[in-house]
Amino acid sequence: MSSYTKRIIAKKILRSLKNRIFIEKDAVLVTEHLASSISLRDVSKKTDISGPQFQLKFREARKHFTEAFVKNLKEVTPQNLETESDVESVAVEDVRQDDKAVLFRVNADLLSKSVLESIRVEGDRYGYQLQGGSAPRHTTLVEYSSPNIAKPFHAGHLRSTIIGNVIANLFERVGHNVVRINYLGDWGTQFGLLAVGFHRYGNQQELQTNPMLHLFQVYVKINGDVEKEKGPKQRETESATYQEGLEAFKKMEEGNLVINSDLLSLWTQFREISIQEYSKVYKRLGIHFTEYQGEAMFQDKSRALIDTLGERGLLQYNSEDGFGYVEVETAGQNNRAALVKSDGSTLYLTRDVAAALHRLDKYKFDSMYYVVDAGQILHFRHLIGVLRRLSVPWADTSPADIHVGFGRVEGMSTRRGQVVFLEDILNEAKQRMLDTMRTKETTKDLETVDVVADILGISAIIVQDLRERRQKNYKFSWDKVLSFKSDSGVSLQYAHARLCSVERNCGVTLTTEIDPAHLSDREGQLLLLHIARYEEVVSDALRTLEPYHIVQYLFTLGHLINSAHRNLKVKGQPEEVAKARLLLFNCAKTTLANGLTVLGISPLQQM
Ligand code: ARG
């Protein structure tokens, strides 16, 4: 049910109540509350759906409104609701003590017709028409992926890539102007170390032929040297190699790269190679960015920031280690956010503050989110804290939670061992899919088997990553990821491909001119009500920045599609029945495709 339909219903109810309880200006507010609290959540779980009912819960509505509404509701009768309404009757019901619900009995035929028609009209926009068109366009910046150059792309970066992409897609679909930033870790001691490593172990020819692998080998070797030298219980700083790396990095920092042309050219080369390689994988995943930024580009700006902080008297120095910090308030407590080392060099946080200021200036965003593993929570609290101390207006009004955190993945490995490159995991998924497909009658003759296997592998990994609350850690298992039988990316694709095949083979033409009475079977009604909920789920996902709402919704949609498919044949049925069912299946397909697409998955026509 679209929010438009909800508002209409809400207005109708209000109109009949208004003269008695509300003054005009409250009416608008109440309509909004009412519309937003209409929920179909419980409907699809109900077993008896003859004459579908859905409940309005008022726990979230304002108290005075709830009371007034509940008190007066008894006077609402079908007669004072308009005749052409989906709503046939309204009644108050005690759910639990102190918890009342308003029970609506809806006219199933009218509801079916209005839902199906709106999906046909809205198509790929179905589910996303949440906002009125007149509001000024909201600019939302989402930062995600953000791997560290010349270091392995670990599971955390994969999660950031997948989750960030969904969040950006969701905002875009509901009409925000979305800026997608990939903030590369291209600065820091590891670059000095890598430069030392390259002099020791690297060679240009290998770097040209197998860039990522070669950089990785150098990275492993030089870190091995550090490990060997420092001894088991000592700190990295005890190692001569590490000191050499620090020295090299210091040169890079001081010279701003310009005077140190050897280091500069190595750094540029490593960075370019990494971006090129990442871009290939992003392309395969269907992921794009408005801009690649990187810590390095905020080097100068970080220094300027330190000066500003000093001038404004915000910077204090710790007498013990000489670090410069700004006092910030995080979660009601005072904390020290370190921004400059005793030797004057800047930190990860300094660059992030400078980067945020730069983004604000460049994109004038209304909101910004950092999709980064949960381990960095404190970092982002410090970040918003420093921005607030700087009296950045956006930071003052922004919620403290700009950090969209997520848990760890355990045990992600391929047949070759631990995952080092993102590409390995995608290749492994594809290969495993190919192996399974070759054993299946239906898929082994597909001409496009290679492409299909790749898409299926990617869908499976994405769905696996998004199926639970993002903060939860999870264990990676190939069997679960690639399952055809239980809920997975593969099972969702299968449901979609099956709907495409119904359309191809049913011999009926798609039309909205149907008689909804032919959809009164239980399977049909359940599917329809679930389809009608999609918009509500999108808004839950957006409100909580939790993509799992959509995945879980799609799993249920998949089950309902399968049981409808078993019981509601299209082919060989009387024409009127076939048409009605075809329209229902077509709308289910649109909804499923919309959900998959927003998750970053291309729906398959055939598999
Ligand atoms: N490159 C960092 C890492 O891998 C993540 C960057 C997160 N974004 C940020 N603005 N700090 O740990």
Candidate from 275, 289, 372, 380 with most ligand 1 atoms within 8 A of CB, to mutate: 372
Question: Is residue 153 lining ligand 1, measured as CB closer than 6 Å?
Answer: no
- Residue 42 has a pLDDT of 43
**484-539 confidence digits (pLDDT tens):** 889 999 999 999 999 999 999 999 999 999 999 999 888 998 898 889 889 878 98
Query: Mean per-residue pLDDT for 189-213?
Result: 89
Task: Give the start-end residues of each E strand in 406-545.
Answer: 409-410, 413-414, 417-418, 474-475
State if residue 152 touches ligand 1 by the CB under 6 angstroms criterion: no
Mean residue pLDDT across the chain: 83
User: Which atom of ligand 1 lies at the shortest distance from residue 151's CA?
Assistant: 4
For 134-153, write each residue's pLDDT tens digit.
567 899 999 999 998 877 77
The pLDDT value recorded for residue 197 is 94
Residue 81 pLDDT > 50? no
DSSP one-letter code for 80: G
Q: Is the CB of 293 under 6 A from ligand 1?
A: no
Core vs surface per residue 18-49: b (16+ CB within 10 A) or e: beebbeeebbeebbebbbbbbbbeebbeeeeb
Quote the ligand 1 centre to 343 CA distance (angstroms): 23
In this prediction, residue 25 carries a pLDDT of 42
Higher pLDDT, 76 or 486: 486
Ligand 1: which residue has its CA nearest to atom 6? Answer: 146
pLDDT for 590-607, tens place per residue?
A: 999 999 999 999 999 998
> Taking the domains of the chain in order of start, what are their residue ranges?
3-106, 431-598
Distance between CA atoms of 49 and 44, rounded to whole angstroms?
8
Residue 235 — very low, low, confident or very high, per pLDDT cuts 50/70/90?
A: confident
253 C-beta closer than 6 A to ligand 1: no
Residue 213 has pLDDT above 70, yes or no: yes
270 CB under 6 A from ligand 1? no
Using the mean position of ligand 1's atoms as its centre, give its distance from the Cα of residue 372 in Å: 7
CA of 21 to the centre of ligand 1 (A): 54
- State the closest ligand 1 atom to the C-alpha of 348, by its place in the atom list counted from 1: 11
User: SS3 for 177?
Assistant: strand
Q: Are 477 and 411 in contact (CB under 8 A)?
A: yes
Give the residue among 426, 482, 425, 435 at the shortest CA–CA distance from 454. 426
Which CATH architecture group holds 431-598?
Orthogonal Bundle (1.10)
Supply the pLDDT for residue 84: 46
Question: Beta-carbon neighbour count of residue 446 at 10 Å?
Answer: 15
Ligand 1 centroid, distance to 605 Cα (angstroms): 37
Q: Model confidence at 62, in pLDDT bands (50, 70, 90)?
A: very low
**Nearest alpha carbon, ligand 1 atom 10:** 352
Please give the distance, rounded to the nearest whole angstrom, from the Cα atom of residue 184 to the centre of ligand 1: 7
Distance between CA atoms of residues 526 and 42, nearest Å: 11
CA of 183 to the centre of ligand 1 (A): 7
Contact status, residue 210 vs residue 226, Cβ threshold 8 Å: no
Residue 86 CB less than 6 A away from ligand 1: no
More confident residue, 251 or 43: 251
Is the CB of residue 148 below 6 angstroms from any atom belonging to ligand 1? yes
Contact 550, 598 (CB under 8 A): yes
Answer yes or no: is the ipTM higher than 0.95: yes
For the stretch 254-311, pLDDT in tens is 765 555 667 778 888 889 988 988 999 999 999 999 999 999 999 889 999 999 999 9
* Catalytic residue set: 151, 154, 157
Q: How confident is the model at residue 440 (pLDDT cuts 50, 70, 90)?
A: confident
519 lines ligand 1 (CB under 6 A): no
